[in-house]
Amino acid sequence: MKIRAKLLLLEGSITGILFLSLILSVYSLISLSGINTLYRELLDKNTETKQLRLKMEEILYFPSAQITDFIQLEKEWTSLTISLGQSNNSRAVKMLGRDFHSSLDRIEKEWRILSSDRNISDYHVFFEDYLRENSTQTSGLYSYSENSEDRETKQVVSLFRNIVEELIKIDVREDELIDSIQPQIPQVMRRTIIRIIGGNILALIVTIIIAFIFGSRFLDNITRIKYSINRVSSGEFSHKLQISSNDEFGRLARDFNAVTEALWAKLESVQSILNDVGESISNEIDVEKVEKAIVYLGLKSSDASGAALYLFNDDNTELLLTYGVGDFRPPYPLGEEKENVLPFKSTDETLASFRDIPVKVGEHLIGEAAQKGEAIIIKRTYSSSFARPHNHPYHINSAIAIPIRTGNVVLGVLCLIHTDDTYFSDLELANAQSFCELAAISIDNLMKYNEMLGVFELNREIDIAAQIQQNLLPQQIPRLRHTDMSFQTRTCRGINGDFYDCYMNDKETILITICEVAGKGVPAALVITMIKTILKLVAKPGLNAAEIIGALNRNITEKIRIENIAALSLILYNQTTGSLSYASAGTQPMLLYRSRSNEYEEILPQGIPVGLDKKADYEESRLSLDKGDFLMLFTDGIPEARNSAGKEYGIDSLKKLALSAREGSAEEMVHEIIEDLDYFHRNSHQWDDQTIFALKREGEL
């Protein structure tokens, strides 16, 4: 039975059980409502019994009785006789128990005996005669009979009195029966509700058990399949999937075991291929040798008649036969000239005759495989573009073209052919694809190894450049009176695009600069070297900060490329007076903290990065520091640092942390900022170089 049929059967069974439970619950509720109906019916019948008894007493004892009263009595007698037999057969009577059923049955039997023995209609004629003879009676029928000597009259009156007495007994029993119903109704309701709940719970338990049994088997099969797939994917091809059912799971198990057996048979040949590939590249790096090994091993692993490797020409528009083995024949038209030429005695000579025939990308089997980057199999070639008669010297029965690719780059195409009556299967295609993936990895590793050698040399040169750049930084910061300073710079790659310098420009004045060069690597390092050299030459005593930056810009513009322009901040600080000259060339603003006002000033004189415009003007800001004041310069790698959520560190964070660390030294202040910055982007990458400088005025002027 199919899985779908089993699921439908399970669904039908569960639905049937739940529907039956619902039907029984509704039936029980309807029966429960019948108790109230029975109670009302018994009240109505009891009322009728009382009315019937009163009507008979009226006829018996009151002189005002009329023939119409007797007719009405007959109707009520007949109606009560019919209705009493209906209640005892209802479902509600059975729900009230055996005692109630017996009591009701007893009342019904007594009434049946009473109505059968004494039919009121039998006295209709007598009562008409009595009224006709005594139309002016002044006493009731009973009083009349007491004074009458008529034997029949006495007999009728006696019978009426007996009926009344029986009705009184029935009435009493009905009252008792009705009184017994009221306390039983809550109990019956509780029992009914308990039965409904119990039945539904039982139905639910049964459905759960059925679903669990089926589901456990279903999940067990899925678990077995998953476990088997994991075992096989881990390389254990000897594992068997044990499912003996006749559904899709069983068929899947049989197919799975057939595939693993085929993979196990191919494992030995794949291991041989790996060993041969390893041997071909372990001794020396010889790409040609590897290419030959790939073709040979491709032939060996596929049991093909012939194999050949096609590689791209210089402009990647055509593929040429590079190397072939076995009885290889090109799977494309050779042209009239070569199609009819018999093969050479030597295989090498025959293959050499095909090497000058290019295959354009997108054409024929090989060109199409190279263009699509996908393997193509032609199991029977009789309808292909290169179909040849069976007796043709270049006949091909079956062919496979597999691109050798790394990532999205196709390196070449391996072509395999059968010339005999055999043809390639899908399993052989998958095996050949796996082999070509290994071959592509081998070739890619060789290329990367050669590239690695070049990168190693380049990295060695970069390390030298980084060391030279490190030597350009000041080895020792000058010690100033009443002033504390600290620098910190960090690179995100080997060569820093940021640069700082400080030296005494004269006896009282120190020149401080931080610089950020656009771009990274060696070009940025060369620009930094130029800036440091030119700055030493143009920063003559007597010039202010803006004049020095202007001279630097004039000397460096047109000597560097536009992508290596530099943003620069420069300060000339007098250690005795605390005055400073500040100029900026496209940098972040200088943060100046005033201890008296406990506030920051952001100072950013006008100026564009150096190297853009030779005639650019720069603005100077003149300031003076008091005791407790401090300033900070920094490159944009500090405020623009981002955490894993993409949030920037920002200048406000820098201000807040520096303010909290103002009681310490400048070095401690910078250290705490760097630590906070590291914590901020602890789970993200540093994308830009970071440099920060702090200067703090400590003594009196």
Q: Count the helix, strand and coil residues of the chain and give each as a percent rounded to the nearest 5.
A: 55, 15, 30
Q: What is the pLDDT of residue 166?
A: 74
Q: How many CA atoms lie within 13 A of 294 on its CB side?
A: 33
Q: What is the 3-state secondary structure (H, E, C) of 307-330?
A: EEEEEECCCCCEEEEEEEEECCCC
Q: Could you identify the residue written with the tokens 């602890």? A: 682
Of 554, 541, 498, 553, the residue nearest 692 (C-alpha): 498
% of residues, the chain, pLDDT over 90:
23
Q: Could you identify the residue written with the tokens 């039945």? A: 199
Count Cβ atoms within 10 A of the Cβ of residue 570 and give its class: 0-12 exposed, 13-18 middle, 19 or more buried. buried
Q: Which residues contact 528 (CB under 8 A, 6 or more apart)?
A: 469, 472, 496, 497, 499, 515, 517, 566
Residue 461 pLDDT grade (very low, low, confident, very high; cuts 50, 70, 90): low
pLDDT per residue as tens digits for the range 653-662: 999 999 999 9
Q: What is the pLDDT of residue 92?
A: 65
Joined together, the tokens standing for residue 287 give 């790409």
Q: What is the pLDDT of residue 578?
A: 92
pLDDT per residue as tens digits for the range 61-85: 676 666 666 677 667 777 666 665 5
Q: Could you identify the residue written with the tokens 């402009």? A: 315
Residue 644 pLDDT grade (very low, low, confident, very high; cuts 50, 70, 90): confident
pLDDT per residue as tens digits for the range 21-36: 788 777 777 766 666 7
By three-state DSSP, how is residue 692 classified?
strand
Angstrom distance (rounded) from CA 295 to CA 291: 6
pTM of the complete model:
0.40
Mean pLDDT over 521-528 rounds to 78
Asked if 369 and 432 touch (Cβ cutoff 8 Å), the reply is: no
Angstrom distance (rounded) from CA 399 to CA 416: 6
What mean pLDDT value characterizes the chain? 79
Angstrom distance (rounded) from CA 686 to CA 392: 67
Q: Could you identify the residue written with the tokens 């536009």? A: 562
Q: Is the confidence at residue 626, as pLDDT, over 80?
A: yes
For residue 582, the Cα-to-chain-centroid distance in whole angstroms is 56
Mean pLDDT over 230-237 rounds to 68
Angstrom distance (rounded) from CA 574 to CA 532: 21
Angstrom distance (rounded) from CA 454 to CA 450: 7
Q: For residue 4, how many other CB atoms are within 10 A of its CB?
A: 10
Q: Is the confidence at residue 139, as pLDDT, over 70?
A: no
Q: What is the pLDDT of residue 91?
A: 63
pLDDT per residue as tens digits for the range 547-594: 999 999 999 988 887 778 899 999 999 999 999 999 999 999 999 999
DSSP E strands, 162-255 = none
Mean pLDDT over 28-46 rounds to 72
Element spanning 333, H or E: none
**Lateral strand order in the sheet of 579-585:** 498-504, 509-517, 566-574, 579-585, 620-624
Of 591, 604, 551, the residue nearest 695 (C-alpha): 591
Lowest mean pLDDT of 119-133, 142-156, 207-221, 448-462, name the range. 448-462
Lowest mean pLDDT of 39-53, 91-105, 291-305, name the range. 91-105
Asked if 69 and 177 touch (Cβ cutoff 8 Å), the reply is: no
Lowest mean pLDDT of 62-66, 297-301, 483-487, 568-572, name the range. 62-66
